[in-house]
Amino acid sequence: MNRSLFRSPFVLVPVVAIAAWLGLLFLWPDLAAGSSRGLRLGTGIAALVSMLLALAYVLRKYMHKYGYSPEFKLKVAIDRMERAETRVHELRREILRGQHGTKRAVEAQVARILREEGVHRVLVAQVLEAPVKPGEPGKGTPGPRFTIKVTKAFLLGRAAKWLHLHLYLSLAFAAAVLAHGGDGWDSPLGLVLLGSSLIVVATGVVGIVLWALGPAWLTARERDLSIEEAFVLRESFQRKLAELTQKLDGDLKAAFTGPDDGGARARALLAALPKTDAARRVLLQDALVLQGQWARVDSEFRVLWRTRLSFMGWRAVHLPAALVLAVAVAAHLLSIAIY
Amino acid sequence: MAEEGMSELEAKESELIFKLELFASLPPRLRKLLLKFRRYTSGRADQVFVHQGEYTEDFHYVLSGSISAYRTELDGKTELFEFLGGHSWFGEASAISNQPSLATYKADVPCTLLSLDGGTFKILYKDPTNQEFRKRIDERYRRQSLAAHMRTMPIFKGLPKDQLAALKSEARFETHPKGKLLAREGEAQDAIYMVRSGAISCTRKLPSGVEQVLEYHMNNSSFGERSLAEEDARWPGSYTTLAPTDLLVISRAAIRSTLGEGTGKLAALERAALALVQETSGTGAGPEARSEDELEVLVKGGRVKGGEALVIDLQRCVRCNMCVETCVAVHEDRVPRLSKKGQRTPAVIELVPTEISLATSCYNCDIPECMMACNYGAIRRDSEGLIRFVYDNCVGCSACVSACPYGVIRYTPPPGSAPIVPKESFLESIPWLGNLFKKPAGEQPADAAAPAAEAPKPSPVLSARGEKVQGKSIKCDLCAGLPFEGCVYNCPTSAISRKDPTSLQFGKDEIRTRVVEGSISDAVHGRRAGGTHG
């Protein structure tokens, strides 16, 4: 199980939101009726903000997937990266020779190198104090020991963190939506808004649980082939079979292009072909072998595909519902602006 | 010499060939070989047989006519290099060392040549019973070609002609059998070596006892230049022949005495050696001796990204393919460097037993098979220990692709092959609105902006440095120059990550204990996995 999907400080966001709502209910029990205009406005804004922030995950994902992220514009020449790496390496040598006494001095030095080489937005450096004890490697090395760890800057944060944000802000969104319009099921727009919100959040929660569990199910079923390998092999066999089928003629071709009977017709035709017709026999035999290989890979792929679908299928509901929600929210905002 | 089974004409030919001084001493076995594989090349006046810089392994003996050899020097001047009348020869340097031709050979008058392929010539040259032949070849090589050949060594590139001529007399030829230890790690460097044929490995012994290959030398590569740059230079590793090897050796003492101690000539050469050493220890090829401390800092400090395995945790991967799609997005040529195909193995991640796939990213092996397979010096280990391609040297033979035991290296389609049509993105495919996301013509690859009437050319595949590498090898470049490593950065479930391979087998505390106990061997050994700059 992938517990990392749930471990995030963002969990505090829905917890605080729900606690705040429960606290308000405790203090003013009649709030639930939605009597306060201020509360409705406040929860509405909270719901909108949390929804937009949750949507930012989607935006970030597709910006990266299609190469539109502003981070792509920060690309620096590899020569500059190498120069910076060489200079930082030289700094490490100086540390080993004991030429830099304090961590702050090293931090300043490495920051200066990265800035001077123009790679400070691409690389970040951490200076870590490495404990030196008698008997360790490096015993006798003069001066204190530091480790300079240079890594990529990862400016926007990893997609996994954004998924946490998406998940927990969506829960906060659900709480805010219920507080905002929990009594609005009687109007068509309210029904759509509340209904789509609940579907989106519920499928999201189900989805994240399935994402945590599903990969283990799939991995357990990937024995001979991974799902990717099965897919590629299946496509390859299919293509080869199609090419070979083109070379067949008449009833031989029909045996492969007609309804799937597991190759029964083709085998019957092979048995009926005279041995003197060697060329057609060889072609037919090859096609039968290919069809057998394809069928085996295809059945394996189908098992794996169904398993993958079992933990990815929720998106078929989640994504359209999210689109409906976005449109409904836009309509809701428009109606507020107009009326 | 008429042999049994020979026709009259063949017997006559044999008699004529072995009257030639060069071939007269061949023993019967080699005579048969020569007669079997010899061929005749005839050419009219002004015909060029070989161009300078051309890769050819053929050896040519001038039977009739005359040939002039012209050589263009670095300053662009072309001069008559040598004049070859009847009964002289050329191509021996290329045949022995796979060296590009040192000059352009052009017929003055109609000529006839007796030609041998490189393989046959090498057998004749290296046969221990054929010393006379070898002696004649070497004598002429020393007299005519050695200076030009030495000029191909980076250290002697800028040396004036007269000094090069003086130095060539100090060069000695050495031949060693397979497995001969030429120099031991830590011993004083006392000479510069150039590999004329064969192969040499330079290895260092890690604290764990593992022998790590720093580099291979073959086909005219040289080593030992540090002996001129530093007074107390030491060999960074042990040099051992991997096959019968021919070397050109010039001792430091000989260089000093020839150029004169304390003279400007020697100082200039020493400066050139220093520049070369600095260049190769900075970002280039040369191995550099490292202390254990440095290695520990590099490997354990996460400094060497290439030393970390690209790991896909199969208990986390939802197979969304985001990693590969990001890899495509990152590279302008839209060719992914990442393949999710990899070795599956049980492991421990964050103290939880799991099943992982080690994605096919470069392992920077201790003994890199790809480097060994490359005949053109296009694969090197840089100062950080990463295996790198030198695209200037790569001829696209794809030997490294076959040699890599992990299938990490991929071959890009050569120029002129079926075009790689960049996939239109989802946003670009939206009717009307998609035009907003399409790159303007100026930003498109040259071929994309070409008129529709012209035949489409393949999109250029680019290295991390932006060099076109069509028809050459590529591998993961760690998203060089970008502030993220796409596959790791964009995985929504934290399934793909860079990990110190040792941490996959032991818990964190165990790792710490092992390191604190001074056992950095695993850490060093763990440098076998990761990506590189392509």
For residue A328, pLDDT over 90 is answered with yes
Integer angstrom CA distances of residue B255 from B163, B166, B234: 10, 9, 18
How high is the mean pLDDT of chain A? 83
Q: Which amino acid is at B83?
A: F
DSSP states of A88-133: HHHHHHHHHTT----HHHHHHHHHHHHHHTT-TTTEEEEEEEPP--
The DSSP code for B154 is: G
3-state secondary structure of B101: coil
Flag whether residue A65 sits within 8 Å of chain B, measured between CB atoms: yes
Any idea which of A133-142, A279-288, B287-296, B319-328 has the lowest mean pLDDT? Answer: B287-296
Strands B59-64 and B39-43: unpaired
CA A9 to chain centre: 19
Tokens 């042999």 belong to which residue?
B3
Flag whether residue A78 sits within 8 Å of chain B, measured between CB atoms: yes
B350 Rama sector, left if φ>0, alpha if ψ -120 to 50, beta otherwise: left
For residue B239, pLDDT over 50 is answered with yes
Q: What pLDDT does B532 receive? A: 36
Any idea which of A86-100, B91-105, B240-254, B439-453 has the lowest mean pLDDT? Answer: B439-453
- How close does chain A come to B497, measured CA to CA in Å? 11
Contact (CB, 8 A) for A193 and A328: yes
Q: Is the ipTM of this complex over 0.95?
A: no
For residues B286 and A236, which has the higher predicted lDDT (pLDDT)?
Answer: A236
For residues A122 and B54, which has the higher predicted lDDT (pLDDT)?
Answer: A122
The DSSP code for A137 is: T
Contact A152 B484 (CB under 8 A): yes
Strand order in the sheet with B309-313: B342-349, B352-359, B309-313, B496-499
Nearest CB partner across the interface for A81, out of B316, B330, B480: B480
Contact (CB, 8 A) for B33 and B126: no
Nearest CB partner across the interface for A153, out of B297, B384, B483: B483
Residues of A in contact with B531 (CB under 8 A): none
For residue A256, pLDDT over 90 is answered with no
Q: What pLDDT does B521 receive? A: 36
CA dist., res. A327 & res. A197, Å (int): 12
Contact A71 B483 (CB under 8 A): yes
- How close does chain A come to B320, measured CA to CA in Å? 9
Nearest CB partner across the interface for B490, out of A85, A148, A159: A159
Residues of B in contact with A123 (CB under 8 A): 483
Contact A138 B481 (CB under 8 A): no
Q: What pLDDT does A34 receive? A: 56
- pTM value surpassing 0.90: no
For residues A323 and A141, which has the higher predicted lDDT (pLDDT)?
Answer: A323
Contact A158 B533 (CB under 8 A): no
For residue B423, pLDDT over 90 is answered with no
Q: What pLDDT does B280 receive? A: 60
Contact A154 B489 (CB under 8 A): yes
Burial class of B28 by CB neighbour count within 10 A (0 to 12, 13 to 18, 19+): exposed
Q: Any alpha helices (H) in B239-333, and if so which ranges?
A: 252-259, 264-282, 292-300, 322-330
Structure tokens at A130: 């490495």
Strands B379-381 and B78-84: unpaired
**CA dihedral sign of residues A44, A46, A52, A57:** negative
- Percentage of chain B modeled with pLDDT above 70: 71
CA dist., res. A11 & res. B424, Å (int): 38
Nearest CB partner across the interface for B318, out of A93, A214, A229: A214
Give tens-digit pLDDT for A264-292.
777 777 777 777 777 778 888 888 888 88
CA dist., res. A25 & res. A46, Å (int): 17
CA dist., res. B396 & res. A289, Å (int): 36
Find the helix or strand (DSSP H, E) in which A278 lies: helix A278-312
Q: What pLDDT does A203 receive? A: 94
Structure tokens at B466: 């932006």
3-state secondary structure of B201: strand
Residues of B in contact with A142 (CB under 8 A): none
Tokens 């299919």 belong to which residue?
A238
Any idea which of A137-151, A295-309, B151-165, B353-367 has the lowest mean pLDDT? Answer: A137-151
Average pLDDT, integer, range B36-47: 87
| Closest listed residue to residue B82, CA positions, set B71, B69, B93, B92 | B69
Flag whether residue A74 sits within 8 Å of chain B, measured between CB atoms: yes
Average pLDDT, integer, range B332-353: 72
Any idea which of A66-70, A153-157, B400-404, B450-454 has the lowest mean pLDDT? Answer: B450-454
CA dist., res. B281 & res. B287, Å (int): 7
Find the helix or strand (DSSP H, E) in which A213 lies: helix A188-221
CA dist., res. B478 & res. B466, Å (int): 14
3-state secondary structure of B362: coil
Residue B57 pLDDT level (bands cut at 50, 70, 90): confident
For residue B346, pLDDT over 80 is answered with no
* Residues 6 or more apart whose Cβ sits within 8 Å of residue A31: A24, A25, A39
Residues of A in contact with B318 (CB under 8 A): 211, 214-215, 311-312
The rounded radius of gyration (Å) of the Cα atoms in chain B is 28
∠ CA(A235), CA(A241), CA(A246), 5° rounding? 130
Q: Which span out of B85-94, B148-157, B365-374 was modeled with the highest average pLDDT?
A: B85-94
∠ CA(A324), CA(A171), CA(A321), 5° rounding? 15
Contact (CB, 8 A) for B182 and B240: yes
As beta bridge partners, residue B61 has B89, B114
State which residue of chain A sits closest to B467, comparing Cα positions: A78
Residues of A in contact with B484 (CB under 8 A): 71, 152-155
Contact (CB, 8 A) for B315 and A1: yes
| Closest listed residue to residue B212, CA positions, set B225, B202, B223 | B202
CA B425 to chain centre: 38
The number of residues in chain B equals 534
Average pLDDT, integer, range B327-351: 75
Integer angstrom CA distances of residue B115 from A244, B51, B281, B476: 47, 16, 42, 44
- How close does chain A come to B323, measured CA to CA in Å? 9
- How close does chain B come to A179, measured CA to CA in Å? 30
Q: What pLDDT does B293 receive? A: 41
| Closest listed residue to residue A1, CA positions, set A215, A314, A203 | A215
The DSSP code for B234 is: B
Give tens-digit pLDDT for A2-61.
888 888 888 888 888 888 878 877 887 776 655 677 778 888 888 899 899 888 999 998
For residues A112 and B243, which has the higher predicted lDDT (pLDDT)?
Answer: A112
3-state secondary structure of A33: helix
Contact B294 A226 (CB under 8 A): no
Flag whether residue A133 sits within 8 Å of chain B, measured between CB atoms: yes
CA dist., res. B169 & res. B167, Å (int): 5
Integer angstrom CA distances of residue A169 from A98, A322, B333, B418: 49, 14, 37, 48
For residue B8, pLDDT over 80 is answered with no
For residues B359 and B193, which has the higher predicted lDDT (pLDDT)?
Answer: B193
For residue B250, pLDDT over 70 is answered with yes
For residue B425, pLDDT over 80 is answered with no
Flag whether residue A229 sits within 8 Å of chain B, measured between CB atoms: yes
Structure tokens at B371: 């480097």
Q: What pLDDT does A199 receive? A: 94
Integer angstrom CA distances of residue B167 from A158, B82, B254, B266, B470: 59, 19, 8, 12, 41
For residues B526 and B179, which has the higher predicted lDDT (pLDDT)?
Answer: B179
